[in-house]
């Protein structure tokens, strides 16, 4: 259910229109993300690094995945470049408009259809997979913490109006829950590759020679007792100041938050994902109480037990949505 919801959000971002499960856009996003996800698994990446020929061996699963990805790319192009020709909203339209403006101002534009497809294909896995997994961990955290659900509801009642995307700042406890969710889970445990191409760098006592590849251990930072007290517990309160507001950017807990990386290569969907998660939490808690499914054992809510990979995944579980009226 969550996976489908996030695919629809991605469709909205790209086309500016709501997409339904029976639409070509939905099918095309799903058809691309499935093989892309499988190929990104550490096991498959390691195999392909050692034996790249496997992508061409008939009958081999890796070849099937490559073929599916190739077909997915063609379908995406068809749907998002040809299909959104008339749409006046969304990222694809925005890039096309930019191309027209550049051409009008100074001749040729480097934003051709291949460039737009590159952006679309980069964004799909970068956005869909971490968001899907974050929302799944959010549900697990809420089922395990009914007191947090009650407190979120208490804060929502204080609004006395329908929640909108801009209300996040008025609801510091919910903002704190989202920050704590991101810290606790750390969807991408390791940053992307960074490299000091311009020269040697000295950081504190470390000398980092030019061209060293660096991957930051984001999960390690978020679960280090030197930076976060009692790091394996889910405690939104660590982000709340004494006066009930959200702690400021200079507070040590905020300075040590690196969930979406830091610097110029920082995640560009950081604010977008925060707003999506905020709306999911608010809408969900306004209408439902999340309870464990008594027919099934509820997995532990411990990120050390989650499945590691490029994006950390919680175990599969089911829960009950009990209707609730604020």
Q: How far is the CB of 224 from ligand HEM (least distance, A)?
A: 17
Q: Taking CB under 6 A as the rule, does residue 259 contact ligand HEM?
A: yes
Nearer to ligand HEM, 191 or 314 (CB): 191
Q: Taking CB under 6 A as the rule, does residue 15 contact ligand HEM?
A: no
Contact (CB, 8 A) for 75 and 117: no
Q: Taking CB under 6 A as the rule, does residue 261 contact ligand HEM?
A: yes
Q: What b-and-e string marks burial along 101-118, b requiring 16 or more CB atoms within 10 Å of the CB?
A: eeeeeeeebebeeeebbe
Structure tokens at 69: 């990805």
Q: Taking CB under 6 A as the rule, does residue 103 contact ligand HEM?
A: no
Q: Taking CB under 6 A as the rule, does residue 273 contact ligand HEM?
A: yes
Q: Which of 241, 266, 271, 321 binds ligand HEM (CB under 6 A)?
A: 266
Q: CA-CA distances (angstroms) from residue 260 to 33, 113, 244, 303?
A: 21, 29, 25, 17
Nearer to ligand HEM, 222 or 238 (CB): 222
Nearest-10 Cα torsion for 118, 120, 125, 127: 130
Binding segment for ligand HEM (CB under 6 A), chosen from 35-43, 188-196, 230-238, 301-309, is: 188-196
Q: Which of 95, 123, 159, 279 binds ligand HEM (CB under 6 A)?
A: 123
Q: How far is the CB of 104 from ligand HEM (least distance, A)?
A: 28
Q: Taking CB under 6 A as the rule, does residue 267 contact ligand HEM?
A: yes
Nearer to ligand HEM, 129 or 240 (CB): 129
Nearer to ligand HEM, 130 or 172 (CB): 130
Distance of CA 213 to the CA centre of its chain: 24
Give the binding-site size for ligand HEM (rule: CB under 6 A).
21
Q: Taking CB under 6 A as the rule, does residue 121 contact ligand HEM?
A: no
Q: Taking CB under 6 A as the rule, does residue 214 contact ligand HEM?
A: no
3-state helix, strand, coil split of the chain in percent (to 5) is 55, 10, 35
Q: Taking CB under 6 A as the rule, does residue 268 contact ligand HEM?
A: yes
Q: Which of 35, 90, 187, 303 binds ligand HEM (CB under 6 A)?
A: 187
Q: How far is the CB of 187 from ligand HEM (least distance, A)?
A: 4
H-only helix segments in the chain: 2-15, 24-40, 42-50, 61-76, 90-106, 113-144, 146-157, 172-185, 218-222, 252-255, 270-287
Non-local (6+) Cβ contacts of 226 within 8 A are: none
Residues 239-258 that bind ligand HEM (CB under 6 A): none
Nearest CA to 19 out of 71, 112, 100, 87 is that of 87
Question: Are β-strands 206-208 and 201-203 bridged in parallel, bridged antiparallel, or unpaired?
Answer: antiparallel
Q: Taking CB under 6 A as the rule, does residue 134 contact ligand HEM?
A: yes
**Is 267 part of any known ligand binding site?**
yes
Q: What b-and-e string marks burial along 249-268, b requiring 16 or more CB atoms within 10 Å of the CB?
A: eeeebeeebbbbbeeeeebe
Q: Taking CB under 6 A as the rule, does residue 115 contact ligand HEM?
A: no
Q: Taking CB under 6 A as the rule, does residue 130 contact ligand HEM?
A: yes
Q: How far is the CB of 81 from ligand HEM (least distance, A)?
A: 18
What is the C-alpha to C-alpha distance for residues 36 and 69, in angstroms, rounded to an integer? 6
Q: Which spans of this chain sit near ligand HEM (rule: CB under 6 A)?
A: 122-123, 126-127, 130-131, 134, 187-188, 191-192, 259-261, 265-269, 272-273
Residue positions forming the annotated binding site: 267
Which residue ranges make up the annotated binding site for heme? Answer: 267
């Amino acid at each position: 259910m969550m996976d489908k919801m996030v695919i629809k959000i991605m469709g909205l971002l790209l086309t500016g229109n709501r997409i339904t499960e029976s639409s070509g856009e939905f099918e095309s996003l799903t058809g691309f993300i499935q093989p892309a996800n499988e190929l990104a698994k550490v096991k498959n990446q390691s195999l392909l690094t050692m034996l790249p020929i496997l992508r061409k061996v008939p009958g081999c699963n890796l070849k099937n995945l490559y073929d599916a990805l190739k077909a997915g790319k063609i379908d995406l192009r068809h749907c998002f470049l040809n299909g959104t020709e008339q749409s006046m909203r969304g990222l694809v339209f925005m890039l096309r408009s930019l191309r027209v403006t550049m051409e009008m101002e100074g001749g040729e534009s480097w934003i051709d259809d291949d460039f737009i497809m590159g952006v679309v294909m980069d964004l799909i896995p970068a956005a869909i997979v971490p968001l899907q997994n974050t929302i799944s961990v959010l549900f697990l955290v809420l089922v395990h913490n009914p007191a947090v659900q009650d407190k979120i509801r208490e804060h929502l009642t204080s609004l006395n109006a329908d929640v909108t995307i801009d209300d996040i700042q008025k609801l510091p406890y919910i903002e704190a829950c989202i920050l704590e969710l991101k810290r606790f889970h750390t969807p991408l445990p390791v940053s992307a590759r960074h490299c000091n191409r311009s020269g040697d760098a000295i950081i504190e006592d470390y000398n980092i020679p030019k061209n060293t590849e660096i991957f930051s251990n984001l999960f390690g930072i978020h679960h280090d007792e030197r930076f976060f007290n009692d790091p394996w517990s889910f405690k939104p309160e660590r982000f709340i100041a004494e006066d009930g507001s959200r702690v400021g950017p200079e507070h040590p807990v905020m300075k040590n938050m690196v969930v979406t990386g830091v610097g110029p290569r920082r995640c560009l969907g950081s604010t977008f994902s925060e707003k999506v998660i905020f709306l999911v939490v608010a809408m969900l808690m306004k209408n439902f109480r999340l309870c464990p499914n008594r027919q099934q054992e509820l997995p532990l809510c411990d990120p050390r037990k989650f499945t590691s990979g490029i994006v950390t995944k919680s175990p599969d579980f089911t829960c009950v949505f009990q209707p609730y009226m604020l």
